[in-house]
Amino acid sequence: QVQDIEFTQIEMKVIEGLKIGNECLNKMHQVMSIEEVERIIGETQDAVEYQRQIDELLAGSLTEEDEDAILEELNAITQEQMELPEVPSEPLPQEVPEASPVKNRPKPELVAAS
């Protein structure tokens, strides 16, 4: 009989746990809709894909098409005429900054241990 009582107590705890779990699920369903969950899943998949692309770029696994596109862009950049500012024609001032005096500190004297 003791085993039957213990088993019944365990069954009661399981049933209480199921009730609490069911209540929690109902509350979650009220807070979140299926559309919201699908949106979150979609955003997560997009973020994973974006991170995978970054990882591939950092790992140096560029395809030949990627390298060709990069070289074309580099050539376009180097062929552009860049307007640089004019160099001033006035001579630079010949001022020499004053050197700050170096302070001479007395060297510590060594004293023999007694």
DSSP sequence for 2-66? HHHHHHHHHHHHHHHHHHHHHHHHHHHHHH--HHHHHHHHHHHHHHHHHHHHHHHHHHT---HHH
**pLDDT tens track for 43-99:** 999 999 999 988 887 777 667 888 888 899 888 888 877 777 888 888 877 776 666
Alpha-carbon gap, residue 73 to 8, rounded angstroms: 75
Alpha-carbon gap, residue 54 to 50, rounded angstroms: 6
Higher pLDDT, 20 or 77: 20
Give the mean pLDDT of 5-25: 93
Across the chain, mean pLDDT equals: 83
Q: What band does 41 get if pLDDT is binned at 50, 70 and 90?
A: very high
Q: 42 phi and psi, to 5 degrees?
A: -65, -45
